[in-house]
Amino acid sequence: MSTDQKRLLLIDGHSMAYRAFYALPAENFKTSSGQPTNAIYGFASMLINLIKEEKPSHIAVAFDVSRKTFRTQLFPEYKANRASTPDEFRSQMSFVNEMIDCFGIKHFEMEGYEADDIIATFAKSAEKNGYEVLICTGDRDSFQLVNPNTTVLYPKKGVTEMSRMTPDAVLEKYGLTPAQYPDFAALRGDPSDNLPSVPGVGEKTATKWISDYGNLDKLLANAKEITGKVGDSLRANVDVIKLNRELTQLLDDLDLKVQIEDLSWLGFDSNLMSNFFEKMEIRALKERLKSLPQAGGAAAKEVSIKVSEISAEELSKLLDKYTKPIAIAFDYEEEALLGYSVATSDTEVYYVQGKKIGDWISKPQIAKYVHSAKVALKNLGLSGVESDIELLAYLCNPGSRNLSLSDLAERILGEVANSEDLFSQFDPKQAAWIFALQKELSSEVKSKGMISLYEDLEQPTLLLLSQIEEIGIAVDQIKLNQLSVHFTKIVADETSMAYKEAGHEFNVSSPKQLQVVLFDELKLPKTKKIKTGFTTDAESLEWLAGKTKHPLLKHLLRIRETSKLMTTIDGLISAVETDGRIHTNFQQTVAATGRLSSTDPNLQNIPIRTEEGRKIRDCFVAQTPYLDLLTADYSQIEMRIMAHLSDDKGLIAAFESGEDLHSTVASQVFNVEKNEVDAEMRRTIKAMSYGLAYGLSSFGLAQQLDIDPASASELMGKYFERFGGIRDYLKTVVEQARELGYTQTILGRRRYLPDLNHENRQRREIAERAALNAPIQGSAADIIKIAMLKVDSKIKSENLKSRLLLQVHDELILEVSPGEHEILSKIVKEQMSNAYELNVPLDVNIGVGKSWDLAAH
């Protein structure tokens, strides 16, 4: 870059980093160890854009040191209303400084002064030396620096869109010159800096006064001319206005001990930048950096993606003997294909409009990269999927709330969708993004030791899920409709009885009316205080029912419970398709632990513990020519995994004894013979054992068992005396996760928990409970997926007609073909029992029946 351009770019470091922090969602910008990077990413992206667009010859970044400056000495309340700096932001600032160094840009701070003062000093010096000055800041006080040679770049949205505040732009927006802006600000005040305004004086009045009198000094000299209440207010607040004016004025004569010529920018250090972005796991910006000058070299040419629109026939011909991997992006409206693009590299793309597609789509010998493959697997006959980008991204960051292709492309590649009229709302370049993302994400999965988890478990699970979604599960629609009528009648009857107990009619679904009835009319004990009064949620109603035994509460709880069942029934009825089956959608990339979830409808939340809930399960049936449903689930799998991970000899022995686990453990904790363990002892130990696997504290145990915290703590102490291996494991797993930033399952699946080191105790404790639970629940998810794959594979290898229908938590549900009951039961038992070798046996329960409920065991 030629240095005789003499254009100085000045950046308010804290202001712009803060805006970047709030513009980008923190959950999508973290390293694998949990270090937030959204401020770093946003600041770097802004810097690249500014350098590329403005082409400065000189650059400097100014930072605040602290909130204590000469302004706080003049006015201690200056900026005192601002919230404390978030830990997530503070943890990134040292990295922002490091990154600026890698860019080869000088940065400055000065004790007792703000970044604005440093910027004002540099701007004044640069103007004297004939420079054009650009100031990038989110602080409007900088408008006073604007002149024909100085422009403020003021962010409109995040850190990507900037308004160019020239003298004309300031005049147009405020009706004042830049020199008059601080006078106007002194009258208006500034809530963000905690500067008080003159009561009764808004922006319009402040603008009119400064415009009429020319400046603040002349206004105050003639304050007696201002009539009415605003005049009185002006005269009463002269001292406040003068102080505001002094605080608003930027200092431009600091002794910075540096010359403007020293701020010349000669390009970034490619090695330093590459290493930095690798360390921060920010790959998206590496490509964009290539368009900027490097220290000692010219800017590299940007890589462009070539898109060619061709017919389906032309594409088929091109791929006829093609043997290398391709990437495919599909354009759907709901699940109807509108078009698609195919990339043969990350720069070469072919786009086809319409739904016509060649038989190459089903050729397994052509390896294919896709994003979210299930729709194409089910509807288009897609075969040969080698990489699903969504799945790879999920393994790298299982806590991410957004794994869409556009988000991944922007976050990892720095690419933003460009929807042109030619392609409607679909950008064909998406196929090239998939190609590039496959390389990046598969490399990351390998580096984290999860490539086997992907290739041997998650990818095959994806293919199997598309198969079982297509099969669906049959339902008895007559029974479903009868249940809907039955539940409607229960709600109506219970509502009538609730009216009778209350003495009048009221809206049983209205929290406001319920509060009046319960607390004002019936004078029942108050529940937890909330903004709108007192809570009337189900938990509070149960507490009230236990405390008061008032009959109204029994009816209200029954209404709540039955209404939820009605919602479930209505969802199931509307989901039945013309084949008489429900085809749920399994979500593989939602739960951070690795578990599957089910939507449209959710078949994993159908109640099992109540009689009414079991009636719903009874509506799921085998459909001709199949005879029965077979259900198989793991017995106490979380506790078995706990025994395996902790290697606790006492717990292992309890499992190996073959006797009832909770009674055996209870006999040891309470130091009694097994035949002396009563139902309450067993219930207590069962609650504790499962609670420990889910991070239950002594306080939580006390609430669950309805005992005091001291007794719960004593009980836990006795438990750990007998099962010290569990105590040591639970302690170690949290310590290791705190050190590494993540937990791991038996197959190496990671769950990142950055809040383990958070300053906020509540957030830290939530993360600690997740660290206790994630390895156990995640390992259970791994095992049931292995089991599902092994069962399906064996059924196919034996050429059986029976088939897998659902996976619900730790349970598999299959449809049994005539004559295959015995062999299917044997296959399922063997494959599930041998899915993974723990140091305790995996116990499998199997049941067969005409419906899901009748097959329960």
pLDDT, tens only, 316-326: 999 998 999 99
On whether both 140 and 39 belong to a single domain, the answer is yes
Q: Percent of the chain beyond pLDDT 90?
A: 59
Q: Which residue has the higher pLDDT, 762 or 621?
A: 621
pLDDT at position 419 is: 43
The pLDDT value given to residue 228: 84
Q: Is 300's pLDDT higher than 50?
A: no
Q: Are 767 and 693 in contact (CB under 8 A)?
A: no
- Calpha distance 735→743 (Å, rounded): 10
Q: Work out the pLDDT band at 416, boundaries 50, 70, 90.
A: low
Q: What integer is the mean pLDDT of 272-294? A: 78
The DSSP annotation for 210-271 comes to HHHHSSHHHHHHTGGG--HHHHHHHHHTHHHHHHHHHHHSPP--------GGGGB---B-HH
Q: Which DSSP letter does residue 294 get?
A: B
Cα–Cα dist 77/778, whole Å: 51
Query: pLDDT by residue (tens digit) across 638-649?
Result: 999 999 999 999
Same domain, 331 and 444: yes
What's the whole-model pTM score? Answer: 0.74
Residues 319 and 408 in one domain: yes
* pLDDT, tens only, 328-347: 999 998 888 999 999 999 99
Distances from the Cα of 666 to the Cα of 710, 719, 740, 842, angstroms: 19, 9, 35, 21
- Do 67 and 153 lie in a common domain? yes
DSSP secondary-structure letter at 458? I
Give yes or no: residues 767 and 681 share one domain.
yes
Rg (Cα) of the chain, in Å, rounded?
Answer: 34
* Residue 234 belongs to a domain: no
Let me know whether 499 and 435 are in one domain: no
Confidence band (pLDDT; 50, 70, 90) for 613? confident
Q: With b meaning 16 or more CB within 10 Å and e meaning fewer, what string describes 504-534? A: eebebeeeeebbebbbeebebeebeeeeebb
Q: Flag whether 121 is in a domain.
A: yes
User: Which residues, listed in sequence order, are joined to residue 163 by a DSSP beta bridge?
Assistant: 154
Cis peptide before 551 (omega within 30 of 0): no
CATH number at residue 503: 1.20.1060.10
Rounded to the nearest 5 degrees, what angle is found at the Cα of 602, between the Cα atoms of 599 and 606?
170
Per-residue pLDDT reduced to its tens digit, 651-661: 999 999 888 88
Q: Is residue 420's pLDDT more than 70?
A: no
Q: Are residues 392 and 483 in the same domain?
A: no
On whether residue 480 sits in a domain, the answer given is yes
Dihedral sign, Cα of residue 712, residue 717, residue 718, residue 722: positive
| Antiparallel, parallel or unpaired: β 7-12 and 58-62 | parallel
Domain limits for position 376: 308-448
Q: Does the pLDDT at position 805 exceed 90?
A: yes
Which of 181-195, 408-422, 608-622, 668-682 shows the lowest per-residue confidence on average (mean pLDDT)?
Answer: 408-422
Collapse the DSSP code of 811 into the 3-class scheme (helix H, G, I; strand E, B; otherwise coil) and give the result. Answer: strand
Q: Residue 823: pLDDT above 80? A: yes
pLDDT of residue 2: 41
Residue 303: predicted pLDDT: 59
Last residue of a domain, one of 572, 600, 616: 572
Q: Give the model's confidence band at 755: pLDDT under 50 very low, under 70 low, under 90 confident, else very high.
A: confident
Residues 62 and 127 in one domain: yes
Tell me the H-state helices in 112-221: 115-128, 167-174, 181-188, 203-213, 216-221
Residue 366: phi, psi to the nearest 5?
-95, 105
CATH number (domain holding residue 134): 3.40.50.1010
Has residue 40 been placed in a domain?
A: yes
Structure tokens at 72: 């706080």
Q: Give the pLDDT mean for 85-90.
A: 85
User: Does 588 reside within a domain?
Assistant: no
Q: Which of 329, 303, 309, 308 is nearest to 405 (CA)?
A: 329
Q: What is the pLDDT of residues 668-716, one digit of tens each?
A: 999 899 889 999 999 899 888 888 877 777 888 888 888 888 888 888 8
Tell me the C-alpha distance between 336 and 331, whole Å.
Answer: 8
Position 434 in a domain: yes
Task: CATH number of the domain at 659, please.
Answer: 1.10.150.20
The enclosing domain of 425 has a CATH number of 3.30.420.10
What per-residue confidence (pLDDT) applies to 418?
A: 57
What pLDDT score was predicted for residue 421? Answer: 40
Q: 176-185, 229-238, 304-313 — which is least confidently predicted?
A: 229-238
Alpha-carbon distance values, 674 to 53, 679, 839 (Å):
78, 12, 24
Give the pLDDT band (50/70/90) at residue 610.
confident
Amino acid at 146: V
pLDDT digit string, tens, across residues 93-109: 999 999 999 999 999 99
* pLDDT at residue 800, rounded to an integer: 98
Task: Among 263, 290, 316, give the residue marking a domain's end.
Answer: 263
Note whether 443 and 489 are same-domain residues: no
Q: Are residues 487 and 347 in the same domain?
A: no
In a domain, 790, yes or no: no
Model confidence pLDDT, tens digit, residues 162-171: 899 999 999 9
What mean pLDDT do residues 750-769 have?
86
Q: HSE of 779 in the Cβ direction (CA atoms, 13 Å)?
A: 23
Q: Is the pLDDT of residue 297 over 70?
A: no
The mean pLDDT of the chain is 90
Residue 3's pLDDT is: 43
Give the residue from 731, 762, 779 where a domain finishes. 779
Percent of the chain with pLDDT over 70: 97
Arithmetic mean of pLDDT, 624-642: 96
Predicted confidence (pLDDT) at residue 294 exceeds the cutoff of 80? no
Number of domains, the chain: 4
Q: Are residues 382 and 494 in the same domain?
A: no
Q: How many CB atoms lie within 10 A of CB 377?
A: 20
Query: Do 529 and 659 fall within a single domain?
Result: no
Give the mean model confidence (pLDDT) for residues 11-37: 86
Q: Assess if residue 849 is contained within a domain.
A: no
